[in-house]
Chain A
Amino acid sequence: DTAVSQTPKYLVTQMGNDKSIKCEQNLGHDTMYWYKQDSKKFLKIMFSYNNKELIINETVPNRFSPKSPDKAHLNLHINSLELGDSAVYFCASSSYLGTGQETQYFGPGTRLLVL
């Protein structure tokens, strides 16, 4: 069974549209993340949620809104898509151990192409 899953795997859409990417983890983790990987493969944190509460919110346009209905899900909704939003979006999860060294487990990625 997939530990961290994302849907859809591929997403091609027109500029200006609104789209959502879903993420689910079955690892029992309490923290989930969204990363954006640009064309140069650079991975950058966007958001992090712990127990359904926003913990990290990097400088991301407010067109991006994460939603966590429960600890196992963290969805990413994007309004008014722009060409520069084209990237691979990775979801990840981890379990808080209090050590500062928890392993993050990544999903397979969602390849978003905005035309």
Chain B
Amino acid sequence: GENVEQHPSTLSVQEGDSAVIKCTYSDSASNYFPWYKQELGKGSQLIIDIRSNVGEKKDQRIAVTLNKTAKHFSLHITETQPEDSAVYFCAATPFSSGSARQLTFGSGTQLTVLP
């Protein structure tokens, strides 16, 4: 099965600086890589995702890069703001002919943006 490793487990940055979170996956059949943000006391929300047919995707201050050869993908947050503080999870899922998508999550990164 798929195994996803995520680093670092904690990350503190000054407001305005950039933050980078990295994940590696083991199953070369994985082709969908979402990133979720979990704020304290809330469920996880999808913030960005990338398919295996692209190498980079950007949405305002958030970008994700994917290197299929090396089997790793990264989340980049620029111009960080205090409201970016949360736990971020990467995930990977292989395409399946079944109807349910079995997301395998990384262990999470607690991002703290210091004012």
- Interface residues of chain A, those whose CB is within 8 Å of chain B, are 4, 30-31, 33, 40-45, 48-51, 55-56, 90, 92, 94, 96, 99-109
Whether B87 lies near A33 (C-beta < 8 A) is no
- Interface residues of chain B, those whose CB is within 8 Å of chain A, are 31-32, 34, 36, 38, 41-46, 49, 51, 87, 89, 93-96, 98-105, 107-108, 110
Bound Cα distance A38, B88 (Å): 15
CB-CB under 8 A from B38, the residues of chain A are 41
Whether B89 lies near A101 (C-beta < 8 A) is no
CB-CB under 8 A from A41, the residues of chain B are 38, 87, 107-108, 110
Whether A43 lies near B44 (C-beta < 8 A) is yes
Whether A56 lies near B100 (C-beta < 8 A) is yes
Whether B32 lies near A101 (C-beta < 8 A) is yes
Query: Which chain A residue has the least Cβ–Cβ distance from B45?
Result: A106
Given contacts A41-B107, A101-B49, contact A48 B44 (CB under 8 A): no
Whether B98 lies near A55 (C-beta < 8 A) is yes
Bound Cα distance A49, B100 (Å): 8
Whether B100 lies near A101 (C-beta < 8 A) is no
CB-CB under 8 A from A102, the residues of chain B are 101
Whether B102 lies near A56 (C-beta < 8 A) is yes
- Candidates A55, A56, A109; contact of B42 at CB < 8 Å: A109
Whether A108 lies near B42 (C-beta < 8 A) is yes
Bound Cα distance A100, B99 (Å): 8
- Candidates A42, A49, A55, A56; contact of B105 at CB < 8 Å: A42
Whether B100 lies near A33 (C-beta < 8 A) is yes
Whether A108 lies near B107 (C-beta < 8 A) is no
Bound Cα distance A43, B99 (Å): 20
Given contacts A41-B108, A100-B94, A103-B49, contact A48 B87 (CB under 8 A): no
Query: Which chain B residue has the least Cβ–Cβ distance from A91?
Result: B43
Chain B proximity of A51: nearest CB distance (Å): 8
Chain B proximity of A68: nearest CB distance (Å): 12
- Candidates B43, B93, B104, B110; contact of A100 at CB < 8 Å: B93
Chain B proximity of A15: nearest CB distance (Å): 25
Sample (5) of A-B pairs whose CB atoms are under 8 Å apart: A90-B43, A90-B44, A94-B101, A96-B100, A100-B95
